[in-house]
Chain A
Amino acid sequence: MRTDQLRPLSELQALESESIHIIREVAATFRSPIMLFSGGKDSVVMLHLAAKAFWPAPIPFGVLHVDTGHNFPEVLQFRDEAVEFYGASLKIACVQDYIDDGRLRERPDGTRNPLQTLPLLDAISAGRHDAVFGGGRRDEERARAKERVFSMRDEFGQWEPRNQRPELWSLYNGRHLPGEHVRVFPLSNWTELDVWDYIAAEKINVPTIYYAHERQVAFRDGMWIAITEVTPARPGEVVELRSVRYRTVGDMSCTAAILSSATTAHDVITEVGLSQLTERGATRADDRLSEAAMEDRKREGYF
């Protein structure tokens, strides 16, 4: 007889169970779900939860990556390994294809993050996906704080924050009209620290660039930017070799590194616990575009 019978669930147990419940609801009630998968830490945690949700059966849906063409090579390599490891089937939508045939044009500032929306919506509509899992968390940004777990999108993939369905108890309502789809956020209630705690507890692999490594960087607009083909040094800029890591691994054109010596998940947990900057504030140039940058992109159908 176990003695801990009425011990409350730990935070991580409660969050894991909630996410698994959400993922199972979607698989049971939608015709054709798909999971967005970038190879970033949130998406790999989501994929890990999906594997646990359906064990001993395989994951009953595929994963989709919107490739900006400016992804970190370490992340792309990890993406393919992770998909293989968890036994998921991967579809890729390429921003580069859209630029090559003229459906999208490169932005003057070189960032490709906002360009992901069109290939994403096309892939959703081509695959006739009625539910799309995203790794978004409500702690990331203030527009996300009001996002539902099941978030309705109209035919144009748009989010209307003033017209969201109330979401009560754990009764998720995914009914929708033809042409509409539902974005589902199983990690809604997780914070950055929860994600790292879970990565450490579950020994989940993440791309190597989440851990400290040496890289040529320049200090630009208050952020450490890696010097790559996509983001060359600007005239007069001092390029230094520094020990850095990434807190988010978005498009290379708009994701900055932080100085760090954290080489394990436990080191990262200590570092995140001590950090004085938010994850996006520290590293995402795209969210600095305007006060409501994320809200605008979400309205248009972004992740």
Chain B
Amino acid sequence: MPQRSTVLSPTANLTGGRTLLRLATAGSVDDGKSTLVGRLLFDTNSVLADTLDHVEQVSKRRGLDRADLALLTDGLRAEREQGITIDVAYRYFATPARKFILADCPGHVQYTRNTVTGSSTADVIVLLVDARKGVVEQTRRHLAVASLLRVPHVVLVVNKIDLVNYSEDVFTAIATDFALLARSLGVLDTHCIPVSATEGDNVVTRSHRTPWYDGPTVLGYLENVDDTRQAVGADLRFPVQHVIRPQTAAAAPWAARAPQVNGDYRGYAGKIESGRVRPGDEIVVLPRGSHAVVEAIDTADGSLDLAVAGQSVIIRLNSDVDISRGDILAATDAPPAPIRELTATVCWLAERELIPGSRVLLQHGTSISKAIVKSIGGVLDLHFESGAVPCWRPTATLTLNDIGRVQLALASPLPIDSYREHRATGAFIIVDDADGWTLGAGLAGSTPLTAWTADNTRSDQHYPAQQGNPS
């Protein structure tokens, strides 16, 4: 058993201490993902004795000679009975430097739905391959999804390196394949690590059995990867959630601790989705287009002279513009134009099909609009039979786990960003008007994968059998 370190909170104040990183795991069946996750939890002391006892008992019952760390991620009863993982599970572990929220995405069942869900909030995707198999079709699919969802960093764990005798040549060949694939898919930043999750090599502690590898361990990588620049460096986007205009001020004893305000207080509550804001900044109110200047940024802890992406605040403006929930306060530099016709990449997450003419609801930021599906421009072929890049094929409908190009007409104009530049305000979900079900995840505008449409015109000749009008 490896050394287990104790994780103490470095400080107990609101603004100090460790940072937060969100990651998602993806891999195919039997590549050791559960074992890797189990080891990260175990080696950061995030698994406590009673849970471990349980895992040891079950391992013994199954005739194993040591605790199977994969059992740490066992979830619902149906999953235990069937030995499969159905749904995204969230795990938590921490080191003195960082807290990690891990979306553990099952590999085989509904991989698109789960990987898209996990990737939507991830700063990093941890992708696994078996060192004996290298980059396989599932790897390409997961990487394509990571690219589509604009996850800033992808780390490839070349697992079971012990089963190829810790061979540098095997690792280098896989890393080279992967780098080529990542470049062709437009993935932003990648890194590869040779790992044995069962033996613990390079997960938390550096392995002496891979002297030829001088990069970080998996945990070391996760502790140091830069996570915030993307959102904070972008232009301001602040969807208004709620207008705070107290009829009566909070009179409870608690409120005496908070700053005091006058009777005509009016502020806009929301979370900064991207960029930063300071008092004195000029903003534009979307979709209306009126301009105003930020008077103050308030919180219950006092006013701020700067607020950045991720913070929930109240923004007060210098003029009485008419603003309500659903509006977006944006930087005046290149704000998104409100549109009624939208082209987007849509990941279809429901059993029922998407067909042209469907009437749906589109939830974007804090607003909801009615929408009609005008046409479906193609479905992404992730089978990679033809080579390194996927292509778009004509289709009449989208079914569960399909990724398609969709044209939508909106009942009211929405200021939707391009997902490429703004992950939060370029994203939307498609909701069933009748029963409220979440049907699809939308990425507005062009994506790296849209570029492949151009390849599609060329690849038409490779797919004569699939061409033609599918109806």
Interface residues of chain A, those whose CB is within 8 Å of chain B, are: 2, 5-6, 8-18, 20-21, 24-25, 27-28, 48, 51-59, 84-88, 138-139, 142-143, 145-146, 161-162, 164-171, 173-177, 188-189, 191, 193-194, 196-198, 200-202, 265-266, 269-270, 273-278, 281-282, 291-292, 295
Contact of B252 among A86, A188, A266, A281 (CB under 8 A): A86
Contact of B12 among A143, A174, A269 (CB under 8 A): A269
Please provide the chain B residues from 249 to 286 with a CB less than 8 Å away from any CB of chain A in the complex.
249-255, 258-261, 265, 269-271, 273, 276
**A164 vs B229: C-alpha distance when bound (angstroms):** 33
CB distance from B45 to the nearest CB of A (A): 9
**A152 vs B357: C-alpha distance when bound (angstroms):** 28
List, in ascending order, chain B residues with CB within 8 A of A12's CB. Answer: 14-15, 17
Any A CB within 8 A of the CB of B1: no
Any A CB within 8 A of the CB of B120: yes
CB distance from A159 to the nearest CB of B (A): 11
List, in ascending order, chain B residues with CB within 8 A of A143's CB. Answer: 75-76
Contact of B253 among A2, A20, A85 (CB under 8 A): A85
Bin the interface of chain B by size: 35 or more
CB distance from A289 to the nearest CB of B (A): 14
**A12 vs B90: C-alpha distance when bound (angstroms):** 18
Q: Are A24 and B441 in contact (CB under 8 A)?
A: no
CB distance from A196 to the nearest CB of B (A): 8
Contact of A10 among B15, B76, B258 (CB under 8 A): B15
**A89 vs B310: C-alpha distance when bound (angstroms):** 31
Q: Are B87 and A57 in contact (CB under 8 A)?
A: no
Binds A, one of B135-143, B194-202, B387-395, B421-429: B421-429
**A53 vs B258: C-alpha distance when bound (angstroms):** 12
CB distance from B174 to the nearest CB of A (A): 31
**A8 vs B260: C-alpha distance when bound (angstroms):** 28
Q: Are B258 and A164 in contact (CB under 8 A)?
A: no
Question: A9-B310, A13-B15 in contact; A169/B255 too (CB < 8 A)?
Answer: no
Instruction: Enumerate 6 A-B pairs (CB-CB under 8 Å) in ascending A order.
Output: A5-B306, A21-B270, A173-B431, A201-B14, A270-B8, A273-B6
Question: A21-B271, A56-B265, A139-B92 in contact; A166/B48 too (CB < 8 A)?
Answer: no
CB distance from B48 to the nearest CB of A (A): 5
Name the CB-closest residue of B to A23. Answer: B312
List, in ascending order, chain A residues with CB within 8 A of B17's CB. Answer: 10-12, 197
Name the CB-closest residue of B to A47. Answer: B254
Please provide the chain B residues from 323 to 354 with a CB less than 8 Å away from any CB of chain A in the complex.
325, 349
List, in ascending order, chain A residues with CB within 8 A of B261's CB. Answer: 56
Considering the complex of A and B, which 4 residue pairs feature the smallest CB-CB distances, nearest first? A87-B252, A175-B436, A281-B50, A57-B246
Question: A146-B88, A168-B441 in contact; A9/B20 too (CB < 8 A)?
Answer: yes
Question: A2-B305, A17-B271 in contact; A169/B424 too (CB < 8 A)?
Answer: yes
15 other A-B residue contacts (CB within 8 Å) besides A13-B14, A86-B252, A87-B251: A9-B311, A15-B20, A25-B366, A51-B255, A52-B299, A56-B250, A56-B300, A87-B254, A142-B75, A161-B78, A166-B441, A168-B117, A197-B9, A269-B9, A292-B77
Name the CB-closest residue of B to A281. Answer: B50
Q: Are B251 and A58 in contact (CB under 8 A)?
A: yes
Q: Are A274 and B15 in contact (CB under 8 A)?
A: no
Question: A6-B232, A166-B441 in contact; A56/B246 too (CB < 8 A)?
Answer: yes
Q: Are A53 and B312 in contact (CB under 8 A)?
A: yes
CB distance from A130 to the nearest CB of B (A): 12
Any A CB within 8 A of the CB of B162: no
**A46 vs B338: C-alpha distance when bound (angstroms):** 36
List, in ascending order, chain B residues with CB within 8 A of A171's CB. Answer: 363-364, 427-429
Any A CB within 8 A of the CB of B465: no
**A145 vs B74: C-alpha distance when bound (angstroms):** 10
Any A CB within 8 A of the CB of B49: yes
**A5 vs B276: C-alpha distance when bound (angstroms):** 9
Q: Are B120 and A168 in contact (CB under 8 A)?
A: yes
Q: Are B312 and A193 in contact (CB under 8 A)?
A: no
Q: Are A84 and B99 in contact (CB under 8 A)?
A: no
Q: Are B299 and A84 in contact (CB under 8 A)?
A: no
CB distance from B175 to the nearest CB of A (A): 29
Q: Are A145 and B113 in contact (CB under 8 A)?
A: no
Q: Are A10 and B265 in contact (CB under 8 A)?
A: no
